[in-house]
Structure 1
Amino acid sequence: MSVLKAFVIAFSMYSKIPMPQFEWKDRDMKYALCFFPWVGAVIGLLTYGWGMLYQHYEVGPLFFAAVGTAIPILVSGGLHVDGYMDSMDAFHSYQSREKKLEILKDPHIGAFSVIRVIVYYLLYVGAYSELGNLKAVALVGAGFFLSRTLCGIGVVSLHGAKKEGLLYMFSSIAHEKAVKIALYAQLAGCAAVLLYLSLWVGIAALAGALLTFCYYRYRCYKELGGITGDTSGYFVTLCEGATVIIVAVCCIGKFI
């Protein structure tokens, strides 16, 4: 029963998909991060379904890209994009570590976050419009699972910048050994799917995601002394964007 409740908690926390309501207890939250990637699996399935509709009906590439871009935002409720924007404001403030952490908690948005998110989605939509076949869409869909798996690994493996907030709550309550085993197993499974879909493009997508994770760790440690809930959203958003761009470049280069 605790495992089922952990599944519901993960989807209640990280998606807008309606879930049963109950009181969250520590024993139920210990395994919630194990199911975080499955929110990405739902997004991936919806993305693949949209790709099938795109192939069946005469839909323009811009509309295809716009809907494909909207799917992860609608499912997640924009949670990770919010973290991305807060992180952009903090990273580009050039203030002290303490001030940057304060900026992350500020509910208002600044000019840097607006500029960066506009540039991000211009690149994202442009790359998405280049996905020329269903296999490319499937690779992008798998990327939503991959980004959340790596994010979950980061939550239980990387140093936190502060001892408060949702990330600290989930990381401190989590059954670290069980969560790590589950997430690394899911990472291996996702890697196998990517390589099955396309060996070389799968390798490129995995390499891009791992390099993004390394950059994320470096940036957060340098700027904040660790990660936070907002920077976790920053990573998910950045990793998804990198996957779409990599797959799009491979489509243009006729590797898929």
Structure 2
Amino acid sequence: MNLLRTVAAAFSMYSAIPMPQFAWDEKTTRYLLCAFPLVGGVVGGAVWGWLWFCGRFQIGRVLLAAAATTIPVLITGGIHLDGFCDTVDALASHAPTEQKLQILKDAHLGAFALIGCCLYLLLTFGLWSEFPVSSRACGMIGIGFVASRALSGLSVVTFQCAKTSGLAAGFADAAQKGRCAGFLLTIFWLCAYGMLWIQFQIGMACLLVLVAIFLFYQRTSYRQFGGITGDLAGWFLQLAEFGMLFAVIFAGRMVGWS
């Protein structure tokens, strides 16, 4: 029962998929982040299904790219994209750390957030329009949605938090950090094995991109904000998904899928 409640809580928090309502307590949130990659599995499965449909029925590139860009946002309810926008706004302000943290909390959409969101979606649309619709490429990108969430959850339980309050700090305090970190790291390594098994060179390129973005996320969070927040974790997730898509396309063109 606790396992089902934990999974339901993760989907309630990180997706727009309707879930049963129940009271949140320590038992529910203790391992909530362990269930976070499952949301990525659903997103990856939905994207994979759409790409298969496009290949099966010869759907045009414009519609393929538009829906592939939209599906993750629809399933997650835009929670991570919201964090991306807030972070872009804060970084663009070049303000002191405390003011940047205030910008993250501001519910209003700033000009830089709007510009950043439009550019992100436009570039993502462009990349999807170049995506090689093959079983290997689809499998690689589907695993990427799981791997990115494993790393995002791992950061919450291992990185320093910028504040003692807020979403990331609350989940970090409630989580069984050692067990959650071990579980999420195991999920990431299983994803890494899957990528390398599908195609070693392209899988390695994807993993290098993911790790590079993960380190960039930590460095930027610490230097600009004094630690991570829930918005920054969402910002990382969007960058990771974009980086995976970029790596699958261009590494695939360089070495091929044979």
User: TM-score over 0.5 for the alignment?
Assistant: yes
Aligned-partner residue type, residue 116 of structure 1: G
Q: Deviations over 1:201-235 (max 9, x none)?
A: 11111110000000000111110000001001000
Partner of 2:144: 143
The answer for the alignment partner of 2:248 in structure 1 is: 247
Contact 2:162 2:228 in 1 (8 A): yes
- Measure the CA separation in 1 of the matches of 2:73 and 2:212: 24
Aligned to 2:232: 231
SS at match of 1:20: coil
Question: Equivalences for 1:171-186 in 2 at 5 Å?
Answer: 171-186=172-187
Identify the residue that residue 7 of structure 2 maps to in structure 1.
Answer: 7
Distance 1:180 1:254 in 2: 34
Any stretches of 5+ residues in structure 2 without a counterpart?
none
- Note the C-alpha offset of 1:250: 2.4
* Structure 1 equivalent of residue 29 of structure 2: 29
Map Cα deviations across residues 156-197 of structure 1 (whole Å, 9 max, x no partner).
000000011111111100011111121011111111111111
Segments ≥4 residues shifted beyond 4 Å: none
Deviations 1:22-54 (A, max 9, x none): 101112210100000110000111111111101
Mapped to 2, the partners of 1:7 and 1:36 lie a distance apart of: 8
Contact 1:130 1:252 in 2 (8 A): no
Distance across 2 between alignment mates of 1:246 and 1:123: 14
Matched, 1:120 2:120: yes
What TM-score do the two structures reach when normalised by structure 1? 0.97
- What's the offset of the Cα at 1:254? 5.3
- Distance (whole Å) between structure 1 residues aligned to residue 131 and residue 110 of structure 2: 32
How far did 1:62 drift? 1.4
1:178-197 → structure 2 map (5 Å cutoff): 178-197=179-198
Does the 8 A contact of 2:148 with 2:210 survive in 1? yes
Give the alignment's Cα RMSD to 1 decimal: 1.0
Aligned equivalents of 1:141, 1:28: Cα separation in 2: 27
TM-score, normalised to structure 2, is 0.97
